[in-house]
């Protein structure tokens, strides 16, 4: 294998968008029949590089060689002909087309559709058998799950005779079971001699799935190493350019008096019960983690406590009742009650993307004396405060006048976290604090959350990342189908036990097969879909 | 009410529905490709004027029709340039086209013909006349079916039949051809088309040009078939009615036929207040009847008729994401 020409060889690729240099003089090789990882933080230039390879952008300089032949990739059509297939992070599917129509689109054999569709149907069947890529060809894409949609994207590439498959952050939207399935498919592809490029920022995926890995940082290719000869700590260091702590450094909690007490809280949406009566408490100086597969009622729970979704039941903060519907069930009253909220979706709930950072820093607190002079907002105070927060939270670039949308995901999140933490809350609600956030920022945000706990505040953490739950929480509650299935001390539980609870299985000491767990999950998602 | 009256009303329905059908299908092609076209009205108006003017000058309705199509196509080109190449706002571009057509037609008509913004009345070969289908005369005496064939089906101008043929043709193109698949895809998710290596711009231009040709037919039919010459604002909101019909039809060709026939029927009724009075046995104000198609338009545009899901990428200029 070492003698064969590389499947892909890049030499001196550079690409700028205006003043931003996304790729600087990048050279690397991918050997055929391997799974090659490309890892780097958000904004390191991974996606840009792959888009150049796929002909979506044109490189400013550099050469591309495919299987030993130099090639000028001017558009996607050239890339497809050269055997390159791409699965984008955001799928490029037509939602109201069938799977078959999506596969055929752009690769039709002739002016009339019928023969193309018939051929695609035959090929899809063959591909499904060869690679474990089962998809109903007549299903409409918007009706199938994201895992299935991703398989359609892979089928699209294979139908176009792709021999090199590029996947951009493929597991971001998948459940752990779906991700495992994906990696099995990638393994099958490799066994058939295909070359796979896996772009990700998750170290674990790199270690589990790849043969070699290239590390990118700030638009540059730092190093390419064999996966067997490296380890997560080394990779993280190469990515960030300094030593990073992959484990959160924290002392055991010393919980004080209960801050948040919730009893029999129920949420109904469009006549469907989303939260079916949960009770728990969070004490001062502790972090309660709520684990669970997305869509089991955790989001609704956070929204209720944040004040923007009505519910029934009872919740108190420091012994004072929180109105759960009607008057007083709003964000401002919640803040007055000492609750700060880092919402799950920073782009739609945490920030106004078209507003400047300094404006975003004031949201929810703009009426306080700190930011106002009489009825007017004190712009100077907001800007000064924003600059100070940016400094303390290491937001890059530290420019209060930049629009929120122009910051990377990690820096956007830091702005939200800075705003919510620095108002000295008694209770912090945090949803998915590190979703789409790079390693360096994850480390920082985790440290801030722990510091808040150590200052004697209560923290309610909702996350679908089990690793995050386990490393941050002092106590863990697992939600499934709108109920809390069990509570555990974080130091006394493990992934297996929590995984069973997440699948709705409460007798965690008994043995359970993978099939049983998947069946339980599928039952739940089927009923969830019916409800929706 | 006798069969003859019913047939007369239905016959008028077909004639009045024809320009709506052309315009509705025109809008269908444009909007299924993701280009919202509020400028149907202006394109029809431009085509109506140019077809009547050129037919009047040359004496040939066919040359007039071609000129009308060229006129609508050039308006389409403006819309395409503004909304596809320069990624402008499609509504603003469409409104601009409506104003442009409204003003230019009258000004040029006045300067060419000096008849108060009209074109000279068309006659003979400068107009589309009704054609009698084979066997219509012979079958006329057959009870019921004879009159239906003679009155309703036969005896329209050639463009009426062209419009009706466009319905299955549009369905076939959209559903059964490669071009149709790509066109529908580009209106739903242009990124899917782009990453498949197909030009989004070229597809959208093609759609906009088809829209131009069809509005050309619509305008030419108004000025040289339905009436004998151009008068100012002769489209009378038909472009907007066609848009309402398009929403009513949920952007599907066959449904577009039924929707435009419904509007045509309402317009036909307003020409025959006696019929409605005969049926309802009450006095119906003729103003109310005249307003009926427009009232239905408002009701449909306000979204009272079911949930119509427009093409998802409609109105959005396509920009490659970074």
Contact A111 B181 (CB under 8 A): no
pLDDT more than 70, % of chain A: 95
- At residue A530, does pLDDT exceed 80? no
Who among B179, B184, B197 is closest to A75 (CB)?
B197
Contacts 24+ apart (CB under 8 A), B138-143: none
User: Of the candidates A194, A209, A240, which is a domain's last residue?
Assistant: A240
User: Residue A430 forms beta bridges with which residues?
Assistant: A342, A461
pLDDT at res. A515: 65
**Claim to verify: residue A217 and residue A235 sit in the same structural domain:** yes
- In terms of CA atoms, which chain B residue is nearest residue A56? B195
Task: Categorize the per-residue pLDDT at A1 as very low, low, confident or very high, splitting at 50, 70 and 90.
Answer: very low
pLDDT at res. A2: 47
Prediction ipTM score: 0.90
Please report residues of A whose CB lies closer than 8 A to that of B310: none
Cα distance from B102 to chain A (closest Cα, Å)?
38
CB B247 within 8 Å of CB B308: yes
User: Of the candidates A408, A424, A440, which is a domain's last residue?
Assistant: A424
pLDDT more than 70, % of chain B: 98
**Claim to verify: residue A322 and residue A355 sit in the same structural domain:** no
DSSP label at residue A60: S
Please report residues of A whose CB lies closer than 8 A to that of B179: 111
User: Residue A372 forms beta bridges with which residues?
Assistant: A377
Contact B192 A105 (CB under 8 A): yes
β-pairing verdict for A212-217 and A220-226? antiparallel
Cα distance from A131 to chain B (closest Cα, Å)?
22
CB B234 within 8 Å of CB B65: no
CATH of the domain at A274: 3.40.50.300
Rounded mean pLDDT, A252-264 = 93
CB B185 within 8 Å of CB A97: yes
Contact B192 A112 (CB under 8 A): no
Rounded mean pLDDT, A444-450 = 92
Q: Which candidate in A53, A84, A106 is best for mutational testing of the B interface (most B CBs within 10 A)?
A: A106
Judge whether A358 lies within some domain. yes
Contact B176 A113 (CB under 8 A): yes
**Claim to verify: residue A372 and residue A284 sit in the same structural domain:** no
pLDDT at res. A528: 52
Q: Judge whether B312 is closer than 8 Å to chain A, CB to CB.
A: yes
Q: Sort residue B142 into left (φ over 0), alpha (ψ -120 to 50) or beta.
A: beta
Please report residues of B whose CB lies closer than 8 A to that of A55: 197
Who among A17, A80, A113 is closest to B322 (CB)?
A17
Q: Cα-Cα-Cα-Cα dihedral of A404, A405, A409, A410, to 10°?
A: -30
Judge whether A403 lies within some domain. yes
Who among B178, B188, B191 is closest to A108 (CB)?
B178
In this complex, how many residue pairs, one in chain A and one in chain B, have their CB atoms less than 8 Å apart? 76
pLDDT 10s digits, A143-174: 887 788 999 999 999 999 999 999 998 887 67
CB A317 within 8 Å of CB A526: no
**Claim to verify: residue A379 and residue A450 sit in the same structural domain:** no
User: Of the candidates A392, A424, A456, which is a domain's last residue?
Assistant: A424
Judge whether A148 lies within some domain. yes
Low-confidence residues in chain B, pLDDT < 70? 1, 303-307, 321-322
Please report residues of A whose CB lies closer than 8 A to that of B200: none
Cα A89 to chain center, whole Å? 11
Q: SS3 letters for A269-325? A: ECCEEEEEEEEEEEECCCEEEEECCCCCCHHHHHHHHHCCCCCEEEEEECCEECCCC
Who among B180, B181, B195 is closest to A86 (CB)?
B195
Q: Who's near A430: CB < 8 A, 6+ residues apart?
A: A342, A449, A459, A460, A461, A462
Nearest to A44 by CA among A23, A25, A64: A23
**Cis status of the peptide bond prior to A512, with omega within 30 of 0:** no
Tokens of A174: 């998948």
Rounded CA-CA distance A426/B85 in Å is: 54
Contact A111 B191 (CB under 8 A): no
Judge whether A247 lies within some domain. no
For A365, phi and psi rounded to 5 degrees? -125, 5
Cα distance from A106 to chain B (closest Cα, Å)?
5
**Claim to verify: residue A433 and residue A515 sit in the same structural domain:** yes
User: Residue A226 forms beta bridges with which residues?
Assistant: A212
**Claim to verify: residue A399 and residue A468 sit in the same structural domain:** no
Please report residues of A whose CB lies closer than 8 A to that of B320: 56-57
Tokens of B39: 């400028």
CB B130 within 8 Å of CB B155: yes
- In terms of CA atoms, which chain A residue is nearest residue B189? A94
**Claim to verify: residue A392 and residue A266 sit in the same structural domain:** no
Please report residues of A whose CB lies closer than 8 A to that of B178: 108, 110-113, 116
Contact A113 B181 (CB under 8 A): yes
Q: Is A166 helix (H, G, I), strand (E, B) or coil?
A: strand
Listing DSSP states for B236-278 in one string gives TTHHHHHHHHHHHTTT-HHHHHHHHHHHHHHHHHHH-HHHHHH
**Claim to verify: residue A74 and residue A223 sit in the same structural domain:** yes
**Claim to verify: residue A321 and residue A263 sit in the same structural domain:** yes
Please report residues of B whose CB lies closer than 8 A to that of A90: 191, 321
pLDDT at res. A525: 52
- At residue A519, does pLDDT exceed 80? no
Q: Judge whether B281 is closer than 8 Å to chain A, CB to CB.
A: no
Q: Judge whether B172 is closer than 8 Å to chain A, CB to CB.
A: no
Judge whether A2 lies within some domain. no
Task: Categorize the per-residue pLDDT at A512 as very low, low, confident or very high, splitting at 50, 70 and 90.
Answer: confident
Helix (H) or strand (E) holding A204: helix A203-209
CB A133 within 8 Å of CB A151: yes
pLDDT at res. B322: 47
**Claim to verify: residue A232 and residue A124 sit in the same structural domain:** yes
pLDDT 10s digits, A24-53: 999 999 999 999 999 988 778 888 899 899
Residue whose token pair is 């009923």: A527
Judge whether A1 lies within some domain. no
Contact B181 A92 (CB under 8 A): no
- The model's pTM is 0.80
B contact residues 187-206, partner A, Cβ 8 Å cutoff = 188-189, 191-198
Chain-wide mean pLDDT for chain A?
88
User: Domain residues for A321?
Assistant: 258-338+425-531
pLDDT at res. B253: 97
- In terms of CA atoms, which chain B residue is nearest residue A406? B322
Contact B178 A110 (CB under 8 A): yes
Nearest to B318 by CA among B199, B180, B196: B199
Contact B195 A114 (CB under 8 A): no
Who among B177, B182, B312 is closest to A105 (CB)?
B182
Tokens of B209: 């040009």
Q: How many domains does chain A have?
A: 3
Helices (H), A310-397: 331-336, 357-362, 379-392
Tell me the CB-side half-sphere exposure of residue B25, using CA atoms within 13 A: 30
pLDDT more than 90, % of chain A: 57
Residue whose token pair is 């009436």: B227
pLDDT at res. B32: 96
Nearest 5 degrees, angle CA A156-CA A161-CA A163?
Answer: 105
**Claim to verify: residue A264 and residue A219 sit in the same structural domain:** no
Cα distance from B167 to chain A (closest Cα, Å)?
18
Please report residues of B whose CB lies closer than 8 A to that of A54: 195
pLDDT 10s digits, B143-183: 888 888 888 888 899 999 999 999 999 999 999 999 999 99
Please report residues of A whose CB lies closer than 8 A to that of B176: 112-114
CB B29 within 8 Å of CB B211: yes
Cα distance from A176 to chain B (closest Cα, Å)?
27
Nearest to B257 by CA among B242, B238, B272, B271: B242
Judge whether A248 lies within some domain. no
Contact A112 B196 (CB under 8 A): no
Please report residues of B whose CB lies closer than 8 A to that of A93: 189, 192
Judge whether A381 lies within some domain. yes
CB A137 within 8 Å of CB A144: no
- At residue A507, does pLDDT exceed 90? no
Using a 10 angstrom Cβ sphere, with 0-12 exposed, 13-18 middle and 19 or more buried, the burial of residue A251 is exposed
**Claim to verify: residue A324 and residue A443 sit in the same structural domain:** yes
Please report residues of A whose CB lies closer than 8 A to that of B321: 90
CB atoms within 10 A of CB A399: 15
Please report residues of B whose CB lies closer than 8 A to that of A95: 188-189, 312
CB A190 within 8 Å of CB A182: no
- In terms of CA atoms, which chain A residue is nearest residue B196? A106
- At residue A531, does pLDDT exceed 60? no
């Amino acid at each position: 294998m070492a003698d064969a020409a590389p499947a892909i060889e890049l030499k001196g690729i550079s690409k700028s968008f205006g003043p931003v240099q996304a790729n600087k003089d990048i050279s690397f090789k991918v050997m055929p029949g391997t799974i090659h990882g490309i890892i780097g933080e958000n904004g390191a230039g991974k996606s840009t590089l792959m888009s150049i390879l796929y002909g979506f952008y044109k490189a400013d300089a550099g050469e591309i060689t495919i299987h030993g032949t130099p090639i000028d990739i001017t558009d996607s059509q050239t890339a497809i002909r050269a055997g390159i297939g791409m699965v984008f992070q955001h799928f490029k599917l037509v939602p109201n087309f069938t799977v078959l129509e999506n596969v055929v689109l752009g690769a039709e054999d002739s002016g009339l559709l019928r023969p193309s569709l018939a051929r695609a149907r035959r090929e899809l069947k063959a591909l499904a058998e060869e690679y474990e890529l089962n998809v109903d060809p007549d299903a409409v894409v918007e009706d199938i799950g994201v895992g299935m949609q991703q398989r359609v994207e892979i089928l699209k590439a294979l139908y176009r005779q792709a021999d090199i498959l590029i996947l951009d952050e493929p597991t971001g939207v998948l459940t752990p079971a779906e991700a495992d399935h994906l990696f099995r498919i990638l393994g099958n592809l490799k066994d058939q001699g295909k070359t796979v490029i896996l772009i990700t920022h998750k170290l674990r995926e790199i270690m589990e799935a790849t043969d070699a890995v290239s590390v990118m940082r700030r638009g540059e290719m730092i190093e390419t190493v064999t996966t067997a000869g490296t380890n997560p700590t080394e990779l993280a260091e190469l990515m960030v350019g300094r030593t990073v702590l992959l484990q959160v450094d924290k002392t055991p909690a010393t919980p004080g008096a209960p801050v948040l007490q919730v009893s029999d809280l129920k949420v109904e949406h469009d006549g469907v019960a989303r939260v079916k009566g949960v009770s728990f408490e969070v004490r001062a100086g502790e972090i309660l983690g709520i684990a669970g597969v997305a869509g089991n009622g955790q989001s609704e729970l956070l929204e209720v406590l944040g004040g923007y979704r009505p519910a029934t039941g009872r919740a108190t903060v420091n012994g004072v009742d929180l109105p759960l519907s009607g008057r007083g069930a709003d964000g401002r009253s919640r803040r007055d009650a000492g609750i700060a909220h880092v919402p799950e979706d920073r782009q739609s709930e945490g920030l106004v993307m078209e507003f400047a950072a300094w404006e975003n820093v004031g949201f929810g607190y703009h009426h306080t004396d700190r930011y106002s002079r009489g009825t007017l907002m004190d712009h100077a105070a907001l800007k000064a405060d924003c600059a100070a927060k940016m400094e303390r939270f290491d937001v890059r670039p530290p420019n209060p006048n930049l629009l929120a949308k122009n910051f990377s995901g990690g820096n956007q999140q830091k702005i939200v976290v800075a705003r919510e933490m620095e108002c000295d809350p008694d209770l912090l609600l945090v949803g998915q604090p590190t979703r789409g956030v790079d390693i360096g920022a994850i480390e920082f945000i985790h440290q801030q959350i722990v510091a808040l706990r150590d200052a004697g505040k209560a923290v309610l953490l909702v996350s679908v990342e089990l690793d995050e739950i386990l490393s941050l929480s002092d106590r863990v509650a697992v939600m499934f189908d709108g109920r809390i299935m069990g509570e555990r001390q974080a130091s006394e539980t493990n992934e297996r036990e929590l995984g069973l609870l997440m699948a709705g299985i409460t007798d965690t000491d008994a043995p359970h097969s993978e099939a049983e767990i998947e069946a339980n999950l599928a039952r739940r998602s089927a009923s969830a879909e019916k409800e929706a | 009410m006798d069969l003859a009256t019913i047939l007369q009303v239905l016959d008028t329905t077909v004639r009045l529905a024809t320009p709506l059908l052309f315009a509705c299908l025109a809008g269908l092609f444009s909007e299924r490709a993701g280009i919202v076209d509020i400028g149907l009205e202006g394109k029809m108006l431009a085509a109506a004027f140019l077809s009547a003017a050129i037919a009047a000058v040359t004496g040939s309705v066919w040359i007039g029709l071609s000129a009308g199509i060229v006129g609508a196509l050039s308006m389409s080109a403006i819309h395409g340039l503004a909304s596809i190449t320069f990624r402008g706002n499609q509504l603003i571009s469409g409104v601009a086209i409506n104003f442009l057509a409204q003003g230019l037609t009258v000004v040029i008509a006045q300067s060419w013909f000096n008849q108060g913004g009209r074109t000279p009345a068309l006659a003979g070969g400068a107009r589309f006349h009704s054609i009698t289908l084979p066997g219509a005369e012979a079958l006329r005496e057959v009870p019921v079916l004879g009159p239906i064939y003679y009155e309703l089906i036969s005896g329209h101008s050639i463009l009426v039949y062209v419009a009706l043929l466009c319905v299955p043709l549009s369905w076939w193109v959209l559903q059964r051809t490669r071009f149709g698949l790509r066109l529908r895809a580009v209106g739903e998710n242009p990124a899917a088309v782009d990453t498949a290596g197909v030009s989004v711009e070229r597809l959208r231009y093609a759609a906009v040009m088809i829209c131009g040709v069809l509005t050309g037919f619509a305008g030419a039919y108004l000025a040289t078939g339905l009436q004998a010459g151009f008068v100012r604002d002769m489209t009378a909101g038909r472009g907007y009615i066609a848009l309402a019909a398009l929403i009513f039809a949920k952007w599907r060709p066959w449904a577009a036929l039924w929707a435009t026939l419904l509007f045509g029927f309402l317009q036909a009724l307003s020409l025959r207040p006696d019929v409605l009075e005969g049926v309802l046995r009450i006095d119906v104000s003729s103003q109310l009847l005249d307003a009926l198609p427009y009232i239905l338009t408002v009701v449909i545009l306000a979204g009272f008729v079911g949930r119509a899901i427009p093409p998802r990428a409609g109105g959005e200029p396509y920009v490659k994401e970074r």
